[in-house]
Amino acid sequence: MPSKYPVLEPKEIVSALQKINYSFVSQKGSHMKYSDGHHIVIIPNHAEIAKGTLKGILNQVNISIDEFLELLKK
């Protein structure tokens, strides 16, 4: 069964997170820090974000893959 988690570029993930009030805090090397005031999430600024890394990011921001995929469509 194929994974629901897509391989994405960091800018696509950041765009979706900004729609749920996450904003840029800082960057150290190739890792960007985003926060909504309560939670902090680190987004690697690499060519592609692996499926497992995306799953970890979504767990940290406490949204499901289905909610995230809807954010990508908006």
Q: Specify the pTM.
A: 0.88
One-letter amino acid of 50 = A
Arithmetic mean of pLDDT, 5-34:
95
Q: State the pLDDT confidence band at 60, using cuts at 50, 70 and 90.
A: very high
Strand order in the sheet with 40-44: 23-28, 31-35, 40-44
pLDDT score, position 47:
92
Mean of per-residue pLDDT scores for the chain = 93
Q: State the pLDDT confidence band at 1, using cuts at 50, 70 and 90.
A: low
pLDDT score, position 3:
75
Measured between alpha carbons, how far apart are the two ends of the chain, in Å? 27
Query: Is 10-73 CATH 3.30.920.30?
Result: yes
Neighbours of 11 (CB within 10 A): 10
Question: From CA 74, how far away is CA 52, in angstroms rounded?
Answer: 23
When computed from its CA atoms, the radius of gyration of the chain, rounded to whole angstroms, is 12
Q: What is the DSSP letter of 25?
A: E
